[in-house]
Structure 1
Amino acid sequence: MHPLDNPNAVPSNAFESVTLSSLAKHVETHAPHDVVLHRGQPRPNKEFIVKGPIRTPTPRRPSELPEPGKLNIHLILGRKIGHGRVARVYEATVDYAKSSPELQQLVLPPLVVKVSRRYDARHLAKEAYYYDEMECLQGSVIPRYYGFFQSTIPVDWNFGPWRRDSIVRGSRRSVDSDTESEFDDDDYSPRPNVPEEEYSSDEEPPPPPPVTPTKVSILIMERLGGLMPLGKPLPEDIIDDITSLYSNLSHLAVDHVDIRYYNILRAPPSDSPLPSLPAPFTQRTYEWRIVDFKNSYKTNRSMVVFDGYYEGYVERLLTNLPYNDIWEPWDF
């Protein structure tokens, strides 16, 4: 634990299991079911070894965490606040009365839960690996992180977050609305992979549900703030902060890969129950955080090459924001 952190802060490995309250319903009776997930095993992407100015891929810094805890946290998911190709992100409220009693004496920030889409559980295992790998950057450069958990959804349950996902493995994705509420629908039935309103009575019925249980993965993280401003010049302190943020990843030889506008979020406010911490390599306290590491990997690039690589991508991204131009890394 960082010496400047709250001594009662929950360690990131404190939870052995997570209960998501009434997040599934039986397909016939519609009876609600809690979904219980257990600590999973993260899996890295393959290291990328380059020729030229090289170094040995930096080993993980020694962990400062205690032994893995045995606590259970009971969460109630609320509004969806983000979505991507493999997962959705929801606000989460802790039900302390149903969680391990020890949790009431500890300090947690506001939380979010990232839930894998149907058939995409494996992708969060990769992202979890890099949150663990970058433990020393949690709360300063990346969000505070509270674990990776997995379960399987029985075939006779409808799982709320998947209600707009295709039930056909490998088919095209559903389209999420930025304003829809995921859990205000009485019917959690799985939908075909086009919006419900596009169906008429003379169309073929959707395919039958899966015949085997389907894995689900989640990540628990602290809730962050909004995005960088668009359509006006960025203050120099923001430009300097974002550039410096990425230099910390260079020290750990982690290539973020997804250097995107949507993956840089404002740090929690100063009145958050847990403070922003100074980054270990720059000793700076930042107002921004980097998220989304499912495509990341470790590499043997030299620090000079790494810093130049990040500076080029970050400069291209930030230069275009005043013109309402959201540049993507694949445009480089």
Structure 2
Amino acid sequence: MAKVVNPDNAVPANAFESVVLGGLAKHTETRAPHDVVLHRGQPRPNKEFIVNGPIRTPAPRRPSELPQPGKLNIHLTLGRKIGHGRVARVYEATVDYAKSSPELQQMILPPLVVKVSRRYDARHLAKEAYYYDEMECLQGSVIPRYYGFFQSTIPVDWNFGPWRRDSIARGSRRSVDSDTESEFDDDDYSPRPNVPEEEYSSDEEPPPPPPVTPTKVSILIMERLGGLMPLGKPLPEDIINDITSLYSNLSQLAVDHVDIRYYNILRAPPSDSLLPSLPAPFTQRTYEWRIVDFNNSYKTNRRLFAFDGYYEGYLERLLINLPHNDIWEPWEF
């Protein structure tokens, strides 16, 4: 039976109390599959950056328009990996409505992604979650719609799928990501137990030694966005204006994005989707682009005109190089 929805009944950003990631872990010895259950976590900000000279007080958080936090449960199955960075990976996610709270059957959710922290990097998503909450008024217009920050711990005798390429050694940055990596299947993410090293084929790694203590994992749930800006051809003026105007909304909230990168500006969902783009509160414009990745962000007391100039300087260097197939990075400033 098709899911019946009320067009005015969109899921609030704080509706979920818990999340189940179906079958995403396996016992290291028995290979028995396990769901990973996560609960609402507590975001933590980065330290504010205070500049000297003529200043303004960092803008306070605008009053929330959300209802009281909900108690719904959502059951998700992760699919193809669609992005990765230093502290997390991003996966397509499918809702299993039969295993989720029944109220969801009558509510609207956009296509979703789940951002999963790498091994030992759970704290970074706590920071990113803070800025999604801080910028609640920009969700669906300047930044993605956001459905919460959730945490759990992975027992020492479980193999957790998204961590299969991460080093077991705390503090190590050794990990390998493939842009062709796809859905999780048995042998894709759960190393075979009790197999001598010499029995592995030359292109296969032996299973890592188990950690000695449970390890925390964090996730963010967000709406799925589209592709990147075009490369190798002149950017239309409307894209340049859109991107510059997008960032002026962050200036209004005194949020320094920090990671002003080509890969962190993605196309908005189609205009004919069940949850179309909203007008931004500070410009009243509806944008075709969204800004993502806020784990390095912070609030600052930089004055508004200085904030806009700061963003425009970085964006000019980024956008002017794209027609030449040159992806400029902020650390090259």
TM tier, smaller: over 0.9
Deviation at 1:192, TM superposition (A): 15
1:73-118 deviations in Å (ceiling 9; x for gaps):
0001000000000000000000000000001111000000000000
Q: Distance in 2 between matches of 1:327 and 1:212?
A: 40
Deviates more, 1:141-150 or 1:203-212: 203-212
Q: Distance in 2 between matches of 1:65 and 1:2?
A: 28
Deviation at 1:173, TM superposition (A): 2.5
Q: State whether residues 175 and 195 of structure 1, in contact with CA within 8 Å, keep that contact through their aligned partners in structure 2.
A: no
Structure 1 residues 202, 269: CA separation in 2 closer, same or farther (over 3 Å shift)?
closer
Q: Distance in 1 between matches of 2:137 and 2:206?
A: 51
Q: State whether residues 112 and 220 of structure 1, in contact with CA within 8 Å, keep that contact through their aligned partners in structure 2.
A: yes
Q: Where does residue 104 of structure 2 map in the other structure?
A: 103
Deviates more, 1:312-321 or 1:182-191: 182-191
Q: State whether residues 3 and 105 of structure 2, in contact with CA within 8 Å, keep that contact through their aligned partners in structure 1.
A: no
Structure 1 residues 198, 221: CA separation in 2 closer, same or farther (over 3 Å shift)?
farther
Deviation at 1:186, TM superposition (A): 2.3
SS in 2 for 1:272: coil
Deviation at 1:270, TM superposition (A): 1.2
Q: Where does residue 145 of structure 1 map in the other structure?
A: 146
Deviation at 1:211, TM superposition (A): 1.1
Listed as ranges, the gaps of 5+ residues in structure 2 are: none
Q: State whether residues 243 and 311 of structure 1, in contact with CA within 8 Å, keep that contact through their aligned partners in structure 2.
A: yes
1:3 aligns with 2:3: yes
1:304 aligns with 2:312: no
Listed as ranges, the gaps of 5+ residues in structure 1 are: none
Q: State whether residues 260 and 314 of structure 2, in contact with CA within 8 Å, keep that contact through their aligned partners in structure 1.
A: yes
Deviation at 1:273, TM superposition (A): 1.3
Q: State whether residues 247 and 307 of structure 1, in contact with CA within 8 Å, keep that contact through their aligned partners in structure 2.
A: yes
Q: Distance in 1 between matches of 2:148 and 2:311?
A: 27
1:173-209 deviations in Å (ceiling 9; x for gaps):
2120001125134263469999999987899976621
Deviation at 1:149, TM superposition (A): 0.0
How many pairs does the alignment contain? 332
Q: Distance in 2 between matches of 1:131 and 1:2?
A: 32
1:131 aligns with 2:132: yes
Structure 1 residues 96, 114: CA separation in 2 closer, same or farther (over 3 Å shift)?
same
Q: Where does residue 112 of structure 1 map in the other structure?
A: 113
Q: State whether residues 80 and 90 of structure 1, in contact with CA within 8 Å, keep that contact through their aligned partners in structure 2.
A: yes
Deviates more, 1:284-293 or 1:207-216: 207-216
Q: Where does residue 219 of structure 2 map in the other structure?
A: 218
Identity of aligned residues (%): 91
RMSD: 4.1
Q: TM-score, normalised by structure 1?
A: 0.94
Structure 1 residues 330, 221: CA separation in 2 closer, same or farther (over 3 Å shift)?
same
Structure 1 residues 172, 210: CA separation in 2 closer, same or farther (over 3 Å shift)?
same
Structure 1 residues 192, 295: CA separation in 2 closer, same or farther (over 3 Å shift)?
farther
SS in 2 for 1:234: coil
SS in 2 for 1:97: helix
Q: Distance in 2 between matches of 1:45 and 1:288?
A: 25
Task: Spell out the pairing of 1:175-194 with structure 2 (5 A cutoff).
Answer: 175-186=176-187, 188-189=189-190
1:237-262 deviations in Å (ceiling 9; x for gaps):
00000000000000000000000000
Q: Distance in 2 between matches of 1:222 and 1:196?
A: 41
1:213-271 deviations in Å (ceiling 9; x for gaps):
00000000000000000000000000000000000000000000000000000000112
SS in 2 for 1:315: helix
Structure 1 residues 304, 199: CA separation in 2 closer, same or farther (over 3 Å shift)?
farther
Structure 1 residues 321, 203: CA separation in 2 closer, same or farther (over 3 Å shift)?
closer
Q: State whether residues 48 and 300 of structure 1, in contact with CA within 8 Å, keep that contact through their aligned partners in structure 2.
A: yes
1:33-69 deviations in Å (ceiling 9; x for gaps):
0000000000000000001231001100000000000
Q: State whether residues 13 and 147 of structure 1, in contact with CA within 8 Å, keep that contact through their aligned partners in structure 2.
A: yes
Structure 1 residues 195, 247: CA separation in 2 closer, same or farther (over 3 Å shift)?
farther
Deviation at 1:6, TM superposition (A): 8.4
Structure 1 residues 195, 128: CA separation in 2 closer, same or farther (over 3 Å shift)?
farther
Q: Where does residue 121 of structure 1 map in the other structure?
A: 122
Deviation at 1:167, TM superposition (A): 0.6
Deviates more, 1:170-179 or 1:106-115: 170-179
Q: TM-score, normalised by structure 2?
A: 0.93
Q: State whether residues 231 and 322 of structure 2, in contact with CA within 8 Å, keep that contact through their aligned partners in structure 1.
A: yes
Structure 1 residues 235, 96: CA separation in 2 closer, same or farther (over 3 Å shift)?
same
Structure 1 residues 3, 206: CA separation in 2 closer, same or farther (over 3 Å shift)?
closer
